[in-house]
């Protein structure tokens, strides 16, 4: 049987759309070969190949995420992108109450295209204010290391 694997990533402000960027998704560090192997295969010879994922949260709700490989760096003259991304997560992240600094867990059987997502907020010391006293325009640049695999 293909055992399930779990990955986690600390969400950045940009990932959750807290920085005015309509990214609608998160970024995936290329260093995470395991995660890339866990996700569906994308053909590098094709420009911006994509695949759809089906994610289920704790509430049993199913979300559809778009897993893309932006590689115009190798397919366009002045392309600069060479990265993986998962988009279409805005609604899901909102429903899960995700915010920058939270940890997103992804579990599932490798290559199945189906995952289970979960939000874990342990890196939050006291950032619980309900934007009532958000006068501090803190440079919310999260310095994260990316994903980590949990065997």
Please, what is the minimum distance in Å from the beta carbon of residue 15 to DNA? 6
Q: Tell which positions 34-73 bind DNA, by CB under 7 A.
A: 47-48, 50, 66, 68, 70, 72
Question: Token pair for residue 79?
Answer: 């392309």
Q: Is 53 helix (H, G, I), strand (E, B) or coil?
A: strand
Please, what is the minimum distance in Å from the beta carbon of residue 16 to DNA? 9
Q: Does the footprint of DNA cover residue 116 (CB under 7 A)?
A: no
Q: Does the footprint of DNA cover residue 144 (CB under 7 A)?
A: yes
Question: Token pair for residue 144?
Answer: 């994260």
Please state whether 67 falls in left (phi above 0), alpha (psi between -120 and 50) or beta. Answer: beta
Cβ–Cβ < 8 Å for 100, 78: no
- H or E stretch covering 149: strand 147-150
What's the residue count for the chain? 151
Residue closer to DNA (CB basis): 85 or 108: 85
Q: Does the footprint of DNA cover residue 83 (CB under 7 A)?
A: yes
Cβ–Cβ < 8 Å for 73, 82: yes
Which listed residue (43, 62, 74, 76) binds DNA by CB under 7 A?
76
Distance CA 94, CA 89 (A): 8
Q: Tell which positions 9-38 bind DNA, by CB under 7 A.
A: 12-15, 19-25, 27, 29-31
Q: Would you tell me which residues interact with DNA (CB under 7 A)?
A: 12-15, 19-25, 27, 29-31, 47-48, 50, 66, 68, 70, 72, 76, 78-83, 87-88, 90-91, 140-144, 146
């Amino acid at each position: 049987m293909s055992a399930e694997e779990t990955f986690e990533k600390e969400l950045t402000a940009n990932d959750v759309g807290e920085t005015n960027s309509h990214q609608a998704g998160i970024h995936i560090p290329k260093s995470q070969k395991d995660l890339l192997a866990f996700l569906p295969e994308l053909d590098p010879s094709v420009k911006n190949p994509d695949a759809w994922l089906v994610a289920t949260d704790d509430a049993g709700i199913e979300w559809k995420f778009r897993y893309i490989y932006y590689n115009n760096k190798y397919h366009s003259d002045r392309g600069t992108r060479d990265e993986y991304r998962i988009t279409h997560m805005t609604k899901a992240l909102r429903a899960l109450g995700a915010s920058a600094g939270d940890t997103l867990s992804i579990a599932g059987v490798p290559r199945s295209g189906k995952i289970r997502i979960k939000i874990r907020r342990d890196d939050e010391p006291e950032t619980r204010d309900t934007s009532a006293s958000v006068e501090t325009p803190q440079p919310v640049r999260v310095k994260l290391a990316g994903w980590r695999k949990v065997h």
